[in-house]
């Protein structure tokens, strides 16, 4: 007869905080939309920003759009887990979205720039940090130009910023390549990372 104290109910995965980051124009929004289409049990934190919405963006769905003055007032009220001033525009993650989802046992996915990812590494050392890369520099430059939202000065600034951001890649746990016409492959890779993290013997403990 097996011992009475033998147990097989050891699989009890903890909620993950998954940070998806990368340089501007690498396709972070597209990858997150791909993840949403999978209907996985994930909570996607909606980022707040002080920049105006682009024509295809919806307030409360793609971003929370606040004026710069409103954003600064919310900073004073400690409403953000983290925030950053990037290209003269604020971006931040509402604190309550993260805490409530983790407490409910849901995995949380946040899209941030590299500066924001560094902040989360300090706030949540056990977070899973994923860095998105294009397949080539030409692919990346083509995406920035296709957005048709960059002045020549903005474009050059993003190039220089990307050079600095790539120097921080050792801070991340995983690299995922988001190549042109292979978006679903990038999404598959992130889903596989999440699955692997949930099968670690020593879970990442966030709470």
Structure token pair of residue 163: 């050079």
Helices marked H in 49-182 = 68-76, 95-103, 114-123, 137-147, 152-166
User: What percentage of the chain exceeds 70 in pLDDT?
Assistant: 89
Closest residue by Cα to residue 25 from 157, 126, 121: 157
The answer to whether residue 3 scores a pLDDT higher than 60 is: no
The answer to whether residue 2 scores a pLDDT higher than 60 is: no
| Superfamily of domain covering 17-198 | P-loop containing nucleotide triphosphate hydrolases (3.40.50.300)
2/22 Cα distance (integer angstroms)? 51
Q: Which pLDDT belongs to residue 149? A: 64
Write down the domain spans for the chain: 17-198
The answer to whether residue 1 scores a pLDDT higher than 60 is: no
Per residue in 95-112, pLDDT (tens digit) is: 988 988 999 999 999 998
Active site residues: 54, 147, 158
Question: pLDDT class for 150, splitting at 50, 70, 90?
Answer: low
Crossing angle for the helix pair 28-37 and 183-198, to the nearest 10 degrees? 70
77/120 Cα distance (integer angstroms)? 19
The answer to whether residue 114 scores a pLDDT higher than 80 is: yes
Q: Which pLDDT belongs to residue 66? A: 96
DSSP state, 171?
A: G
The answer to whether residue 91 scores a pLDDT higher than 70 is: yes
């Amino acid at each position: 007869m097996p011992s009475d104290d033998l147990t097989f109910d050891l699989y009890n995965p903890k909620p993950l905080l998954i940070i998806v980051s990368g340089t501007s124009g690498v396709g972070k929004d597209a990858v997150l939309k791909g993840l949403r289409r999978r209907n996985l049990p994930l909570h996607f934190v909606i980022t707040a920003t002080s920049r105006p919405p682009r024509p295809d963006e919806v307030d409360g769905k793609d971003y929370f759009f606040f004026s710069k003055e409103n954003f600064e007032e919310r900073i004073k009220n400690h409403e953000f887990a983290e925030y950053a001033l990037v290209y003269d525009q604020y971006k931040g993650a509402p604190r309550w979205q993260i805490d409530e989802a983790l407490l409910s046992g849901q995995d949380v996915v946040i899209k941030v720039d590299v500066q924001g990812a560094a902040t989360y590494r300090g706030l949540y050392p056990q977070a899973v940090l994923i860095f998105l890369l294009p397949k080539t520099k030409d692919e990346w430059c083509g995406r920035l130009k296709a957005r048709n939202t960059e002045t020549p000065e903005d474009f050059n600034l993003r190039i220089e910023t990307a050079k600095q951001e790539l120097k921080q890649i050792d801070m991340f746990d995983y690299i995922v390549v988001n190549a042109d016409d292979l978006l679903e492959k990038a999404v598959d890779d992130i889903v596989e990372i999440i699955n692997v993290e949930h099968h670690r013997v020593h879970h990442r403990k966030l709470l």
